[in-house]
């Protein structure tokens, strides 16, 4: 007798002994398989749901962090530094008359002066009105710690060549910036905090095709930012003392 026949007889005897027919056993097997599949499906659904919950929690945490950051940034933008308030108070008359504009954004304070307030047309010599405004600026900037003051000159696109002492608008914008830097130094602002730059006509605030636009573009901007320079420590030879700074 073959093993297959013996196995079949054994299965028949087992089913008979248990009182379960072959069809009933097959049905039970199918039910067990279905139950197992349902269990596996539920496990997959549970895992997917847990992942979705984790993702939502991560998104919520990121949103909370972003909201907190935006709130902090808003506070920084709205908050005005003590130096800003002092400068705004010193320049109150010039600000109200429209000669000067002052702003502060992300720790950078900028004082903008229209060129006609500080200079005559085509000139880099500071006029009386300009000196009065710069006196107030210098007073607020004295005793600066950890700050850099960059004076920038800007022009409109009208060429100055042949109209005065300057070769072009590069010369004029740079000369005006240097004039303001020298004046601030003369009024007591630490020279190591100062810098000058000329941008000619190449950074306009408004189109140059109108008189008002050209007027906005002719300007001096004084920017107060975090210091980008630390004076190096110089080792002096033994017995040699550094030269005394000239009296102001």
Q: Please tell me whether residue 199 adopts helix, strand or coil conformation.
A: coil
Least Cα distance to 183 among 144, 149, 230, 147 occurs for 149
Rounded Cα distance between 246 and 248, Å, is 6
pLDDT in tens, 174-229: 999 999 999 999 999 999 999 999 999 999 999 999 999 999 999 999 998 887 65
Q: Which position has the higher pLDDT, 3 or 104?
A: 104
Mean pLDDT of 47-65: 87
Report the percentage of the chain scoring pLDDT > 70: 79
Residues 6+ apart with CB under 8 A from 99: 113, 114, 117, 129, 133
Do residues 158 and 214 touch, judged by C-beta distance below 8 A?
yes
According to the model, what pLDDT value does residue 239 have?
52
Which CATH architecture group holds 82-226? 2-Layer Sandwich (3.30)
Strand partners of residue 224: 109, 149
Q: Is the predicted pLDDT of residue 117 greater than 70, yes or no? A: yes
pLDDT in the model for residue 39: 83
pTM for the full predicted model? 0.61
In the chain, what are the helix, strand and coil shares in percent, each to the nearest 5? 55, 15, 30
Mean pLDDT confidence for 26-31: 77
């Amino acid at each position: 007798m073959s093993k297959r026949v013996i196995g079949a007889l054994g299965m028949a005897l087992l089913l008979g002994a248990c009182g379960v027919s072959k069809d009933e056993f097959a049905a039970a097997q199918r039910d067990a398989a279905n139950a197992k599949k349902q269990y596996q499906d539920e496990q997959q659904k549970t895992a997917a749901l847990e992942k979705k919950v984790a993702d939502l929690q991560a998104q919520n945490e990121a949103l909370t962090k972003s909201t907190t950051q935006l709130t902090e940034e808003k506070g920084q933008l709205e908050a005005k530094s003590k130096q800003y308030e002092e400068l705004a108070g010193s320049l109150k008359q010039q600000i109200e008359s429209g000669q000067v504009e002052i702003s502060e954004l992300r720790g950078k304070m900028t004082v903008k002066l229209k060129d006609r307030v500080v200079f005559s047309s085509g000139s880099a010599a500071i006029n009386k009105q300009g000196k009065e405004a710069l006196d107030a600026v210098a007073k607020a900037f004295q005793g600066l710690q950890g700050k850099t003051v960059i004076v920038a000159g800007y022009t409109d696109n009208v060429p100055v060549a042949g109209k005065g002492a300057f070769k072009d608008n590069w010369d004029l914008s740079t000369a005006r910036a240097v004039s303001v830097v020298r004046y601030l130094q003369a009024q007591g602002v630490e020279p190591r905090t100062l810098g000058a730059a000329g941008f000619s006509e190449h950074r306009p605030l408004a189109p140059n095709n109108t008189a008002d636009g050209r007027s906005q573009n002719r300007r001096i901007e004084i920017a107060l930012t975090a210091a980008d320079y630390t004076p190096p420590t110089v080792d002096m030879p033994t017995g040699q003392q550094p030269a005394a700074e000239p009296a102001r």
